[in-house]
Structure 1
Amino acid sequence: MQTAIAGCSKQREREMAGGNGIVRGVIMDEAVVLQQNQECLQPGAESLLRKLRYSGIRTGISYGPGLSSRKVSLLKRMANLHSVDCFMLDASSTYAAIHEVMLSWHDIGGSILYLVSNEKKDISLELSNCNWLITVLNTEGGSSCESSSIIQINRLDELPLTICHFNRKETGKNVTTVGYVMKPSRQEDFAKRGAFPMYPTKNGLMFLPLTFELPLSPQLQEVDIVLHKATDEILSIELSGSSGHPNKITYTRGMQELKCYMDHHVDFCVIDPLDNIYPVLDRHKIQQILLGLEDVNTSGVKIRGPHFLKVDDFNEPDFLQRLSKAKLSLPSIVKPQVACGVPDAHSMAIVFKVEDFKDLSVPLPAVIQEYVNHSSILYKFYVLGEKVFYAVKNSTPNTDTLMKLCGSNELRPLVFDSVGDLVDSLKSLPTANEKEHRVNERIDHDRVRDAAEWLMRNLGLTIFGFDVVIEERSGEHVIVDVNYLPSFKEVPDDVAIPALWDAIKRKSESRRTQREENKC
């Protein structure tokens, strides 16, 4: 069979191997997927399969002819679960194996990377001769592979970095590599929508999932810009007690390492700097910032933040006077000052009577916020660089309905988690008639866009979201929440994902231009 391969023309070899160029296909040998002498997967194998499934990289699992039927069955179940292919690669019939792969993957338009254990280096060398990119997983106690054309890794979770390395080498400076950090569930939600391909997008981006399980510095050396959801990595927030001093944020070990790297590499590009997201972690701070929206209200419909009051103790002697001075009437909504990153950040309450503040279970310090009658309609706005999108959502009911829900005699506080079941049940109540809905759908898009641009400038953020309600009586637009890197799941993927890519690309180019100007 070696003779058959050696006799192939270079063109034929490229046809069989999928062509030179960026990695568009990955095949993982059974020995790197299954644990030796056991009918179960290697640690990290399933996580890697999930990453590859949504990366845009065609993925397959290979096995030899001697594998037990039970293990073959397990591999095929996993392949079916993760929508990957299964191939039998026989070392004694390499040409036939390549031919089978290319019949199935004739349209991938790039190179194939073959991940194999070092016990199978013989077939690896043959496939390398046919332009497959060979990566060997050094299993414990295995011997090193001597070929200089073969890359070796020690862990499965090094494979995305290896793919990135191959593709950066192939594309050179024509592609911007984006490393991203967020919790696995969020990462997968974005990846399912096609947001994080490991091969170049049409506007020249390529994505690498950064992992804190590996040394961070070598990964960051492969990327040009970092996209993060740092709020996923917060362990605790210690409020400063002073608007003039930043709050103390404690991150996970990995995020702290990333922060240190960014602090020591001032030219490193990140979306967005950690300092810029701090205001959205503090509900009092963001309310103070929203006071500046007066600059936007030159004429026409007014857009503003809600009336608010920060409290450290509900038993303060001048509590009633402070409520009145802040233009707050009841019912009001009470929220923890810390907006995210801690377990009780979403523990809230709607309070109907002053005496009920005294024993309220909402964590202190807290922000008491105006409850706006808005006919149960919430507008979620998403800012992706220069693009602004919105979605209309059901929201909590007006105060008269809330009072009926609580019972006119009792009117006890409604305590809920803003991402939990109670708030969802409140949103599902039929509270607005058709006429009220038509009135509230007349949102002033130009005014909200002006506010979005104002927030972008004042917060220094590239990707963020904010919620708007329309006060039923006055028509005033009220921004009731601001958050960083939302899912924007209500925006269709074919619109949202290109906008995300464009925002990242513009940020990268802007930073590059700024660095060049500073050098001059």
Structure 2
Amino acid sequence: MRLNGEISSGGEEEEEETTTFSGQKVVVGYALTSKKKKSFLQPTFTTLARNKGIHFVAIDLNKPLPEQGPFDIILHKLSGEEWREIIEDYRQTHPEVTILDPPDAIQHLHNRQSMLENVVDLNLSDCHGKVDIPRQLIISKEEDPSSIPYEVTKTGMKLPLVAKPLVVDGSAKAHELFLAYDEFSLSELEPPLVLQEFVNHGGLLFKIYIVGETIKVVRRFSLPNISKRELSKFSGVFRFPRVSSAAASADDADLDPSIAEHPPRPLLEMLARELRHRLGLRMFNIDMIREYGTRDVFYVIDINYFPGFGKMPDYEHIFTDFLLGLVQSKCKKKPTT
């Protein structure tokens, strides 16, 4: 069996070292692209994990998965229907193994329409703020690009508009973003795509990392505000880089406190808890902005599964504790004999 795509080679594993609680070694099988493996399984992380008894083993995609292991946890991020079927079958036949995360739940985030559906009807009004999504329009693959201006006008959406590919498949194209200053230029874009109203947010984005019960917030620079005067001066569609993955953090910058203040902790805790439950996922991140001129109006603009956790401060300790907690929780649920 050989799956398409660049993957980590089979048979790799870290050195076997100490054991963890109750003298037990935790074996984590991983199936990751080479790029994800490099960014996530950094030496600082694997060394810390090994010292606490966590043993990482690469899954060999040339061999049947049931013949490998045994595993306590499987960590995966590969695309393709074949892999989804393999991991889902394994999940059904090996309930004793924790899968991070169920493939059907992950698939929910591969479409920008279904991705944000779980945010729309959240009622977080008692949590020191309001969370919504920008007004948006879905343009299907079958749609004639020349009809997009008409569809935008019909919905009454306000310019400028952010255009994003509808499907999130891990490719570079899936993260191409465009800013449209007039609706007629939208006919230059290729469906399927999502159009979102641009919300002025002071040029700052909050990346909210969720790892189990842990919430970590990182500030990133984003697109500056756009005034009506600027809007009248420009036309066309402009491509801009994937803002949320920029390496430059805004955490140490001298920023206006009214813009830079983190979303209220009670709001984030409720949002994380609700999305963990609704999405059925334990490790993801939320891209959130605060509407400029407000203190408590927020918009979720993207949700990503297994993002670049290697850029999250203190991720080594957070993930080590998370993995150990998963196994400890599983052990507590086992019936005594």
Matched, 1:210 2:82: no
**How far apart are residue 298 of structure 1 and its match?**
2.3
Distance 1:378 1:290, change over 3 A: same
CA contact (8 A) 1:271 1:504 kept: no
Q: Return the letter of the residue paired with 1:332.
A: L
Q: Which runs of 4+ in 1 moved over 6 A?
A: 170-173
Aligned partner of 2:130 among 299, 302, 314: 302
Q: Aligned partners of 2:283 and 2:270: how far apart in 1?
A: 16
TM-score, normalised to structure 1, is 0.54
Other-structure match for 2:195: 368
Matched with 1:471 is: 291
Number of the residue aligned with 1:341: 170
AA aligned to 1:273 is P
Q: Is residue 325 of structure 2 the alignment partner of residue 506 of structure 1? A: yes
> Partners in 1 of 2:228 and 2:310 — Cα distance?
29
- Structure ranking higher in helix proportion: 1
Asked if the contact 2:13–2:56 (Cα under 8 Å) also holds between the matched residues in 1, the reply is no
Equivalent-residue separation in structure 1 for 2:205 and 2:132 (angstroms): 15
Instruction: Determine the structure 2 residue equivalent to 1:175.
Output: 25
Contact 1:167 1:199 (C-alpha < 8 Å) held by counterparts: no
CA displacement at 1:176 relative to structure 2: 1.7
Q: What letter matches 1:380 in structure 2?
A: K
CA offsets per residue over residues 392-450 of structure 1, 9 Å max, x none?
Answer: 1111121239947xx92x51111345379xx97xx99xxxx97x722112233321232
C-alpha distance in 1, partners of 2:196/2:148?
A: 17
**Counterpart-to-counterpart distance in 2, 1:159 and 1:302:** 46
Residue 413 of structure 1, aligned match among 224, 227, 237: 237
The reply to whether residue 489 of structure 1 matches residue 310 of structure 2 is yes
The one-letter code of the counterpart of 2:151 is: F
CA distance in 2, matches of 1:223, 1:262: 12
Preserved contact between residue 197 and residue 206 of structure 1 (Cα < 8 Å): no
Match of 2:218 among 378, 383, 391: 391
Does the 8 Å contact 2:40/2:309 carry over to 1? no
Structure 1 residues 197 and 490: alpha-carbon distance in aligned structure 2, compared to 1, 3 A threshold? closer
Contact 1:388 1:449 in 2 (8 A): yes
2:276 matched residue in structure 1: 456
- Written as runs of structure 1 = structure 2, the 5 A alignment for 1:242-391 is 250-251=81-82, 256-293=85-122, 295-298=123-126, 300-312=128-140, 313=143, 314=145, 315=147, 319-320=151-152, 322-324=154-156, 328-342=157-171, 344-357=173-186, 359-362=187-190, 364-391=191-218
Residue 234 in structure 1 maps to residue 55 in structure 2: no
- Residue type at the aligned position of 2:75: L
Identity among equivalent positions (%) equals 22
Q: Which has the higher contact order (CA 8 A, sep 6+)?
A: 2
* Matched length: 320
For 1:67, the equivalent position in structure 2 comes to none
The equivalent residue for 1:442 is: 261
Specify the code of the residue in structure 2 equivalent to 1:365.
P
**1:198: how far off?**
9.7
- Amino acid aligned to 2:133: G
- Alpha-carbon distance, 1:342 to partner: 4.4
- 1:190-216, Cα deviation, whole Å (9 max, x unpaired): 2224223497433x4222122324453
Which blocks of at least 5 consecutive residues in structure 1 are unaligned? 1-50, 52-155, 236-249
Q: Contact 2:259–2:292 at 8 Å: present in 1 too?
A: yes
Residues 401 and 508 of structure 1: CA distance in aligned 2, closer, same or farther (over 3 Å): farther
Against the structure 1 CA distance between its residues 419 and 337, is the aligned structure 2 distance closer, same or farther, given a 3 Å change threshold? same
Where structure 2 has 5 or more consecutive residues not aligned to the other structure, the ranges are 1-7
Which letter maps to 1:210?
I
Cα distance, 1:337 vs structure 2: 1.2
Report the CA distance shift for 1:212/1:419 in structure 2 as closer, same or farther (over 3 A): farther
- Residue 301 (structure 2) pairs with residue 480 (structure 1): yes
Say if 1:199 and 1:330 are closer, same or farther in 2 by CA, change over 3 A: closer
- TM-score, length basis structure 2: 0.81
Contact 1:336 1:345 in 2 (8 A): yes
User: Distance in 2 between the 1:251 and 1:281 partners?
Assistant: 16
Deviations along 1:2-26, whole A, 9 cap, x unmatched?
xxxxxxxxxxxxxxxxxxxxxxxxx
Specify the alignment match of 2:36 in structure 1: 186
Report the alpha carbon displacement of residue 281 of structure 1 after superposing the two structures with TM. 1.0
RMSD over aligned CA atoms reads 3.6
In the alignment, the residues of structure 1 paired with residue 226 and residue 21 of structure 2 have an alpha-carbon distance, to the nearest angstrom, of: 59
